[in-house]
Structure 1
Amino acid sequence: MTTTPRTTIATLTMNPTVDVAYDVDHIVPMHKIRTRREYCNPGGGGINVARVFVRLGGNARCIYLSGGPIGVALDGLIDLHQLVRTRVPIEGNTRIATTALETSSDKEYRFTPEGPNVREAEWRAALAWLESVECSHLVASGSLPHGVPTDFYAQVSRLMTARGVRMVLDTSGEALRAGLAGGGIHLVKPSRGELEAFAGRPLPTREAVVEAANAIVEAHQARMVAVTLGHEGAILVRREGVIDCPALEVEAKSTVGAGDSFLAAMVFALCNGESEEAAFRFGMAAGTAAVLHPGTDLARPADIARLLPQLATA
């Protein structure tokens, strides 16, 4: 995989986080629990995608909402990661997400607030930035905070496709439904659970997953649907056919950021002119690499390179 991308992407994160992670021996109710190995990272779907994309050698601009004293901390963390950023100021306070690894049980606990209330003028300011950002792909990833209309991603898609920018979407619930209803999505990446909610029914088999994803493609809502299945792998559905890739057997330390790592690597490969199948497998390697380490560290290029050959024949 080349490390010199032909294009620059932008990412949009409407509900970012400051991600705090640490280890504890035991989680006991009503007790003060001492933590170890605490560290903080900038988080939220689009910011995570940009972190991995840049690690791979790419160029990414982060567009995100930021407010209150936690927003100031988020800005500083993004600068520490040397990401190019466009901060859209809001009055509400940016949220803090917490991940705790209980070392006695090797179980991970995650706490994620809903986020701030966003005013119309604030989310419209994010749209205004998108009218001039230079990129080949826009990755819109993550939940929508309160106050942002459910069809916001559909508005973003119309704006970007009119400018010749390929729209990549990773969200859930009504934001996913409304975003796809607007059409024009180049790539959408739901998890199995998110696709089940979208389809309104359980999808217990791989065949059922393919059928639901193919309905999105046939309705011209998205050109490609990459469905991540956790420890069962992932499936890519396009008009040209289906690629079904089982998961590699690894010891998972954390699931935080696995989907974001997958998406970042797949888009990176597409930007470098790789085939859709090769890009999908590169994404699979990155998603697997992300679970090898606890906390919010995301995929590392060395791990991706080590895992990728194992997926070539999967």
Structure 2
Amino acid sequence: MILTLTPNPSVDHTLEVDDLVRGEVLRIRATRAQAGGKGVNVASALLRAGVDTRAILPVGGGGGAELTTLLGDLPRVTVPIGGETRGNVAVTEPDGTTTKLNAAGPTLSPAEIQALLRALTDEIAKGPDWVVASGSLPAGAPDDLYVRVAELAADHGVPLALDASGAPLRSAAEAGSVELLKPNLEELSDLVGRAPTTVGEVTDAAREVLAKGNGAALVTLGGHGALYVSAEDVLWARGPRVRTRSTVGAGDSALAGFLAHEGTPEERLRRAVAWGTAAVSLPGTTVPRPEDVTDDGVTSTTVPDPLWRIDEL
């Protein structure tokens, strides 16, 4: 059972256009509204794959009502808030280029933050296999919220996977106790204050973060695949080239794929890449179904050359 926490969920509106040109009147080819937020995406992908999951998220206002409807049969615990659940907009072009317009979201009061943590505590006490904490924090939430989440998970002996950015990611990474960090290359660069360009440099950067007391890192590299880095292993995998329709939520699907499957780190990495590859071939924030995911064409190695350039993978 995998429990997800999404402190700042959204209703994601996707607009498909032929070409995004500033200042012009554009014709929209297709639109869709979907439940969004990184933890929601992870839980949705797991549910589609038949994995037991539950999502925890705050909801409020008309946006919260719409989000609750869009969640469908996803098992969830919703925490009522006084603010309005945000709506995000993604504009996608035929070549997969995606322009995102993300709202800041509501401001949560200290009482609402405590209610969210109480809901999390109640669910962690039931003994999930993983807790996944994902995404940006709403206004009013302290930068160390994910540190508190890590402490709650550790108190109950439950491993934490964290997918965040900026100050919330930095605080949690510095505090340690995160079993699996899932930064992309930009987020890892921000953590260490430099931009790695080779496999060896990414490995060194990831291990610098792991040395704070964290377990392993799943570093997603966009179209260049992903690296799994632990104290013992450095593994790389990349999916086949596919037509990209939307990159929104691909990293969330990759994380879901990694956590959904048991096996060696290499086997889990290959599934993560397969799930992420399937996600980019789907519109909007659509998560893959089992029939969308295949290992065919996934390339992997347990000994990637440290001199390989990321942009050439």
Q: Which amino acid aligns with 1:299?
A: P
Matches within 5 A, 1:22-61: 22-29=15-22, 33-61=26-54
Match of 2:85 in 1: 94
Equivalent residue number for residue 5 of structure 1:
none
Q: How many percent of aligned residue pairs carry the same amino acid? A: 37
CA distances 1:80-118 after superposition (whole Å, capped 9, x unpaired):
2x1011111111111111122345x76432211111111
Which residue, out of 288, 293, 296, partners 1:309? 296
Which position in structure 1 is the counterpart of 2:143? 150
Amino acid at match of 1:131: T
Q: RMSD across aligned C-alpha pairs, in angstroms?
A: 1.7
Segments of 5+ residues of structure 1 without an aligned counterpart are 1-7
Deviation at residue 237 of structure 1 after TM alignment: 0.6
Look up the SS of the partner of 1:198 in the other structure. Answer: helix
Distance of 1:14 and 1:254 partners within structure 2: 23
SS of structure 2 residue aligned to 1:177: helix
State the Cα distance separating 1:21 from its structure 2 match.
Answer: 1.2
Contact residue 70 and residue 95 of structure 1 kept, 8 A: yes
Q: Which residue of 2 aligns with 1:139?
A: 132
Which among 179, 187, 192 is matched to residue 180 of structure 2? 187
Query: SS state of the match for residue 253, structure 2?
Result: helix
Q: Which of residues 274, 283, 296 in structure 2 aligns to 1:285?
A: 274
Asked if structure 1 preserves the Cα contact closer than 8 Å seen for 2:105 and 2:138, the reply is yes
Change in 2 beyond 3 A, CA 1:170/1:313 = closer
Question: Shift in Å at residue 240 of structure 1?
Answer: 2.0
Tell me whether 1:65 sits opposite 2:48 in the alignment.
Answer: no
- 1:299 is matched with 288
Does the aligned pair in 1 maintain the 2:174–2:212 contact within 8 Å?
no
1:196-223 deviations in Å (ceiling 9; x for gaps):
0011111122211110101122331x21
Shift of 1:164: 1.4
For 1:1-314, list aligned pairs within 5 A: 8-29=1-22, 33-78=26-71, 80=72, 82-103=73-94, 107-133=97-123, 134=126, 135-220=128-213, 222-269=214-261, 273-305=262-294, 308-311=295-298
Whole-Å separation in 1 of the counterparts to 2:67 and 2:175 = 31
Counterparts of 1:124 and 1:182, CA distance in 2 = 20
Instruction: Specify whether residues 24 and 246 from structure 1 end up closer, same or farther in structure 2 by C-alpha distance, changes over 3 A only.
Output: closer
TM-score scaled to structure 1, two decimals? Answer: 0.90
Instruction: Say whether the 8 Å CA contact 1:170–1:190 is kept in structure 2.
Output: yes
| Distance in 1 (alpha carbons) for counterparts of 2:218 and 2:97 | 28
The CA distance in 2 between the partners of 1:83 and 1:95, in whole Å, is 19
- Is the Cα–Cα contact under 8 Å of residues 233 and 248 in structure 1 kept in the other structure? no
Q: Distance in 2 between matches of 1:291 and 1:188?
A: 21
- Evaluate the alpha carbon distance shift between residue 18 and residue 194 of structure 1 in structure 2; reply closer, same or farther with a 3 A threshold: same
Q: Secondary structure at the match of 1:185?
A: coil
Paired AA for residue 260 in structure 2: F
- Aligned residue pair count: 298
1:25-70 deviations in Å (ceiling 9; x for gaps): 4545555544332211100000000000111111111100111110
Kindly provide the amino acid, as one letter, of the partner of residue 255 in structure 1. Answer: T
TM-score between the two structures when normalised by the length of structure 2: 0.90
Gap runs ≥5 in structure 2: 302-313
- Does structure 2 conserve the Cα–Cα contact (< 8 Å) formed by 1:12 and 1:139? yes
CA 1:28/1:76 → structure 2, altered by over 3 Å: closer, same or farther?
A: same
Q: Tell me if the contact between 1:232 and 1:246 (Cα under 8 Å) persists in the aligned partners.
A: yes
Contact 1:45 1:142 in 2 (8 A): yes
